[in-house]
């Protein structure tokens, strides 16, 4: 989807603007994403890094993911809202979290990853592509 979409964190200290194609949205149910999201999946769109503008102070940390890759997670330094992640294997791409986007233009998730870790109480529509781990 090509459009300009924008939004902010819960406290308004960080603003995000995407000007370009955003692939997704996708969901990840790995335990690390569940920890970062507070219990559910991480829901995000993939965007070329040069098409995303982030204004405000973010704090980041880097970790080794369940698949063995490295990734950084960035969040608002003031309120802790998840803003984006950057997977090392996809240099030049950002996974912008849907929670920071005002009026998301998508009506469904395209795919869900790591559903082998999905909590039993979370249901996915049958039309969502599902992957046991990472495709």
Query: In tens digits, what is the pLDDT along the chain, a chain of 135 residues?
Result: 455 899 999 999 999 999 988 999 999 999 988 988 888 899 999 999 999 999 999 999 998 887 888 889 999 999 999 999 998 888 889 999 999 999 888 888 999 999 999 999 999 999 999 999 987
Beta-strand ranges (E) seen in the chain are 2-8, 15-28, 42-48, 52-55, 58-64, 70-76, 82-87, 93-97, 111-113, 129-130
Tell me if residue 78 falls in helix, strand or coil. coil
The token pair at 97 is 């979290």
CATH code matching the domain that covers 2-130, chosen among 4.10.320.10, 3.20.20.80, 3.40.50.410, 2.170.150.70: 2.170.150.70
State the Cα–Cα distance between residues 66 and 44, nearest whole angstrom. Answer: 18
HSE value, Cβ hemisphere, 13 Å, CA-based, for 111: 13
pLDDT value for 91: 80
**pLDDT value at position 3?**
59
**Residue 126 and residue 25: Cα distance in Å, rounded?**
16
Write down the pLDDT at residue 89: 81
Q: How many CB atoms lie within 10 A of CB 61?
A: 10
In which residue are the tokens 């996708």 written? 26
> What pTM did the predictor assign?
0.89
Classify burial at 46, counting beta carbons within 10 Å of its beta carbon; exposed 0-12, middle 13-18, buried 19 or more.
middle
Task: Indicate the domain borders of the chain.
Answer: 2-130
């Amino acid at each position: 989807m090509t459009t300009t979409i924008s939004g902010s964190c819960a406290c308004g200290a960080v603003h995000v603007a995407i000007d370009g194609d955003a692939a997704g949205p996708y969901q990840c149910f790995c335990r690390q994403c569940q920890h970062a999201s507070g219990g559910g999946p991480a829901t995000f769109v993939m965007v070329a890094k040069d098409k995303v503008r982030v204004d405000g102070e973010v704090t980041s940390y880097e970790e080794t993911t369940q698949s063995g890759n490295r990734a950084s997670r960035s969040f608002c330094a003031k309120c802790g809202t998840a803003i984006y992640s950057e997977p090392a294997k996809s240099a030049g791409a950002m996974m912008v979290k849907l929670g920071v986007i005002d009026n998301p233009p998508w009506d469904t998730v395209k795919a869900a990853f790591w559903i082998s870790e999905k909590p039993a109480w979370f249901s996915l529509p049958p039309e969502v592509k599902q992957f046991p781990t990472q495709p």
